[in-house]
Amino acid sequence: MPYQTFKTKDGHLVDAAFTEKFWHGLCRALELPELIDDARFVNNDARREHRAELVPILSRVFLARTTSEWQTRLDAESVPWGPINTIDRVFADPQVIARAMQIAVNHPTIGALPMLGNPVKIAQENELRAPPLLGQHTEKVLREILGYAPEKIARLEEQKIIRAENLS
């Protein structure tokens, strides 16, 4: 504790100070060394008990710097953390680019949809497809798996109980 997200001057990050070592590093990175010996925060149980007091203190400090500035400070103290990226930042990430992680799938209504591919690269990888539309498989599931008659499916659709998209 803390193991949560914090807003920074230009975005958000997640901090994972889940051990005493990481807590001490976090306090040093935030220039709050006095919290290390504060009885309210002296160990994980105490920090959990006084979370309502601790989180606002940390939140105020995190707001003072950019995510990049926190990267330098937290990395210097070996505190586990990570940025919470927007999609544009994810696609611009050097690791995403190096691993050719950005892919495009064909979506039935909007065309090419940029997505992240599977981080695990295997030789016989199947082609990724766009997520189904709402109701795209409803009729097939009701008919083929649950054995509903076409009339019953039509009635459910008329009553707006289900939505069945037929893309054929």
Full pLDDT tens readout for the chain, 168 residues: 789 999 999 999 999 999 999 999 999 999 999 999 999 999 999 999 999 999 999 999 999 999 999 999 999 999 999 999 998 999 999 999 998 899 888 888 889 989 888 888 777 666 777 788 888 899 999 999 999 999 999 999 999 999 877 665
Quick one: pLDDT at residue 118?
A: 82
Spatial CB neighbours of 88, under 8 Å, sequence gap ≥ 6: none
Quick one: pLDDT at residue 117?
A: 85
Separation of alpha carbons 105 and 116, rounded Å:
10
Helix (H) or strand (E) holding 29: helix 20-29
For domain 3-84, is the CATH number 3.40.50.10420?
Answer: no
Quick one: pLDDT at residue 164?
A: 78
| pTM given for the model | 0.65
Residues of the chain with CATH 3.30.1540.10: 3-84
Spatial CB neighbours of 81, under 8 Å, sequence gap ≥ 6: 13, 14, 15, 16, 70, 71, 74
